[in-house]
Structure 1
Amino acid sequence: MSRPQCPRCLRPHTHCLCALIPSLDSRTRVLLLQHSSEVNHALNTARLAALGLNNAELIVGEVFENLPALLNRPGYRARLLFPADDAQPMQAYRESDEPLLLVVPDGTWRKARKMLHLNPLLAALPRVTLAQGGVSRYRLRKAPGPGALSTIEAIVQALETLEAPTTFEPLLTPFEALIEGQIAAMGAEVYQRNHSGK
């Protein structure tokens, strides 16, 4: 039998994170496109990001029929946060007069690429990337390579680059608690054996 869960953060009531989720304003609008396979994942960081940012929206799916309406927000320039050879560094938009609509695919790299393939409008967006060398606090998933960040960490880094000196660090508080809770649930020994030192 499944444990009753909080309808807002989707965590079990006993591990609800809502009290830790901030309410942050940002000039940048964040559109999270979450692959449906991520929704019930225990470490759903995209949902935490969407709940903690007032100017954010989370849409779940694989093919997004209403993409034209989502991307054409008056007063914003849509940019896709995803690697590409011609991607612009995030810093290039720091002094921009027009705020960004930052489109963030959420899923494994394979699922995110599939979303781009199935949504040509998404794939056609100009792309932006984060500065190299970000260190993830995500101690539970094997990163595909150095500098790989969880969705919420990537959003925090992007916003802090675009909107410096404003800090978006409070967004990571529920994320840290989520990870600590997962480590506690698996037990120190299992964590050490499977995750420590990787």
Structure 2
Amino acid sequence: MSRPSCPRCARPLDHCLCALIPSLDSRARVLILQHPSETRHALNTARLAALGLRNAELLVGERFDDLEERLARPGYRSCLLFPGEQAQPLAGFAEQGVEPLLLVVPDGTWRKARKLLYLNPSLEALPRVALPEGLTSRYRLRKAPMEGALSTLEAVVAALEIVEAPRRYDALLAPFEALIDGQIAAMGEETFRRNHGE
């Protein structure tokens, strides 16, 4: 029998994170496209980002039929937050115009995020932007697959702190930190130190 869960944060009721999730405004709009396999992930940081930002939306799927209309939203300049050779620094792209950004963020493993791009050609057509090098994930329970790899939530926070500076968005990380602390507590401090070298 499964434990009852919170309808908002989808966590078990005895581990509900809603009290830690802020409600922050941003000039930029954030559109998170989540691969369906990520909805079952214990952290599901994309959901935390969408819940904590008033100007964010989370869509789950592989193909998004109305994506072109969403990307053509009046008053916004759309861009895809995804690294690659064609990606330009986010800060430079943001400075090139006065309109707020519509920041499109794929959520999934690298392979599944690339699949989202392949299945939705309008994403490939967007200007691609990247975060600065040298950022480090706070997710202490897993080794990043590559240098600078962040969770979706961490990437959204880093991006907003660039384009909305000097405004801060690290309050979005509070439920993420609580999830990590809860996982460490469940495994025990000694097991954590032995397996993760801290």
Opposite residue 37 of structure 1, the aligned amino acid is S
The residue aligned with 1:90 is 90
* RMSD (CA atoms): 1.2
In structure 1, the residue matched to 2:80 is 80
Equivalent residue pairs, number: 197
Which portions of structure 1, spanning 4 or more consecutive aligned residues, are displaced by more than 4 angstroms?
none
128-137 vs 115-124, greater mean Cα deviation: 115-124
Q: TM-score, normalised by structure 2?
A: 0.95
Unaligned runs of 5+ in 2: none
1:193 CA displacement: 3.3
Deviation, structure 1 residue 84: 1.9
Cα deviation for residue 79 of structure 1 reads 0.3
Q: Identify the residue that residue 9 of structure 2 maps to in structure 1.
A: 9
- The answer for the alignment partner of 1:37 in structure 2 is 37
- Within a 5 Å distance, the mapping from 1:14-25 to structure 2 comes to 14-25=14-25
1:111-154 CA distance string (max 9 Å, x none): 10111111111122110000001011011222111211111111
1: distance between equivalents of 2:84 and 2:49? 24
Alignment of 1:108-119 (within 5 A): 108-119=109-120
AA paired with 1:121? S
User: In 2, are the aligned partners of 1:9 and 1:16 still within 8 Å (CA)?
Assistant: yes
Q: CA deviation at 1:188?
A: 2.2
Mapped to 2, the partners of 1:80 and 1:159 lie a distance apart of 13
1:147 aligns with 2:148: yes
Q: Aligned equivalents of 1:9 and 1:196: distance in 2?
A: 31
Q: What's the CA shift for 1:91?
A: 0.9
Distance in 2 (alpha carbons) for counterparts of 1:196 and 1:42: 22
% identical aligned pairs: 70
| Bigger mean CA deviation after superposition, 176-185 or 45-54 | 176-185
Letter in 1 for 2:34: Q
Matched ranges for 1:160-175 at <5 A: 160-175=161-176
What SS does the corresponding residue of 1:112 show, helix, strand or coil?
Answer: helix
- Give the CA deviation at 1:71: 1.1
Question: Whole-Å Cα distance in 1 between the matches of residues 99 and 183 of structure 2?
Answer: 40
| Matched residue, 2:177 | 176
The equivalent residue for 1:60 is 60
**2:188 corresponds to:** 187
TM-score, scaled to structure 1 = 0.95
Partner Cα separation in structure 2 for residue 76 and residue 196 of structure 1: 44
Q: Write out per-residue CA displacement over residues 3-41 of structure 1, whole angstroms, 9 at most, x where no aligned residue.
A: 111010010001100000001000100000000000011
**Distance (Å, rounded) in 1 between the aligned partners of 2:33 and 2:56:** 11
Task: State the SS of the aligned residue for 1:32.
Answer: strand
1:192 shift after superposition: 2.6
